[in-house]
Amino acid sequence: MDDSHFLGLAKAALERAPIFDGHNDLPWVIRQDSAARGDVFAYDLAVVHERSDTDIPRLREGFVGAQFWSAFQPTSAPHPARTTLEMIDTILRIEQAHPDVFHPARSSADFAKARKSGKIASFIVIEGGVGLENALAPLRVWYAAGARMLIPCHNETLDWVDSATDAPRHNGFNAFGRAVIAECNRLGMIVDGAHVSHAGLRMLLDVSEAPVFLSHSNAFSLCDHPRNAPDDVLKRLKDNGGVVMATFVPGFVSQPLRDWLKRSRDAYGKAPLASDPKAQLKEIETRHGPAPKATLAEVADHVVYLVETAGLDHVGIGSDFFGGPQPLGLEHVGRFPHLVAELMKRGFSEADVAKIANGNALRAMRAVEKVGETLRETRKPLVGRLEDFPGA
> Residue 261 half-sphere exposure, CB side, CA atoms within 13 Å?
26
Burial (CB < 10 A; 0-12, 13-18, 19+), residue 239, is: exposed
**What SS3 class is residue 225?**
coil
Under 8 Å between Cβ of 335 and 329:
yes
Say how far apart CA 73 and CA 153 lie, in whole Å.
Answer: 10
Per-residue buried b or exposed e for 300-334, using 16+ beta carbons within 10 Å of the residue's own CB: bbbbbbbbebbeebbbbbbbbbbbbbbbebbbbbb
Cβ pair 222, 305 in contact under 8 A: yes
Cβ(95)–Cβ(69) below 8 Å: no
Decide: 124 and 149 in contact? Cβ < 8 Å: yes
Q: How many residues does the chain have?
A: 392
Quickly count: other Cβ atoms within 10 Å of residue 12's Cβ.
11
Q: Which residues does the annotation mark as catalytic? A: 23, 25, 127, 154, 195, 216, 320
Question: If you compute the radius of gyration of the chain from its CA atoms, what whole number of angstroms results?
Answer: 19
